[in-house]
Amino acid sequence: MTIAAVLLGALSTHVTNYLMERSRNRYQLLTRWDDKKIDAYGDYVDAAKARIAMAVRLYEAREGLAESERSEQELRKDLAEASRVWGGAFERVMLLGGDDAIEEGHELNTLVSEIAWQATGKISGNLDDWRRRNRAAFRKINAFHEAARQDLGIQGSVTGERHPERDLLLPPSRQTSDDD
């Protein structure tokens, strides 16, 4: 009887340790993937914003809205490099991201591409179209943030009543004067 109790105790200790270890390993694996997701999501948003920023520099130079020390060809190379980094960052989102974050990313990609295309002249548009595209892209970045936060189980929101929509910080449209 004593031997049976010792064996039962040893078996129950072994099973308990096994289950606890398995649970701990699962938790560590989830935590490790969440860390990688956070990095992937953050890197993607940074890359999307960098691509937009490079497109802005090119667009402003091409349209005469701002002077640049860099030539148009150099600005195009900067945009091409930002586009390459952005594409790689989205690939990591595709590998690690939740379904909703991936879908928001696809929609953001469309808008960011339109901005780059207008900057390079591949699609036409005036300054109002340009600003509309940029506003839409930044609203979509917020939607991506929401999807990423949900995927990671982060409470709270970056939009809604406590966080009203903010507009881009843009100078007013140029007005033509009678002197021109």
Name residue 163's beta-bridge partners: 160
- What is the C-alpha to C-alpha distance for residues 60 and 96, in angstroms, rounded to an integer? 35
Q: Which fold has domain 31-152?
A: Four Helix Bundle (Hemerythrin (Met), subunit A) (1.20.120)
The answer to whether residues 107 and 142 touch, using CB atoms and an 8 Å cutoff, is no
pLDDT on residue 91: 97
Q: What is the pLDDT of residues 18-71, one digit of tens each?
A: 778 777 767 665 566 788 999 999 999 999 999 999 999 999 999 999 999 999
Reduced to 3 states (helix: H, G, I; strand: E, B; else coil), residue 160 is strand
What is the residue-averaged pLDDT of the chain? 86
Q: What is the pTM of this model?
A: 0.75
Give CA–CA dist 94/90, Å, rounded.
6
Annotated domain spans of the chain = 31-152
For residues 113 and 168, give the distance between their C-alpha atoms in angstroms, rounded to a whole number.
Answer: 18
Alpha-carbon span 85 to 113, nearest angstrom: 13
Percent of the chain with pLDDT over 90: 63
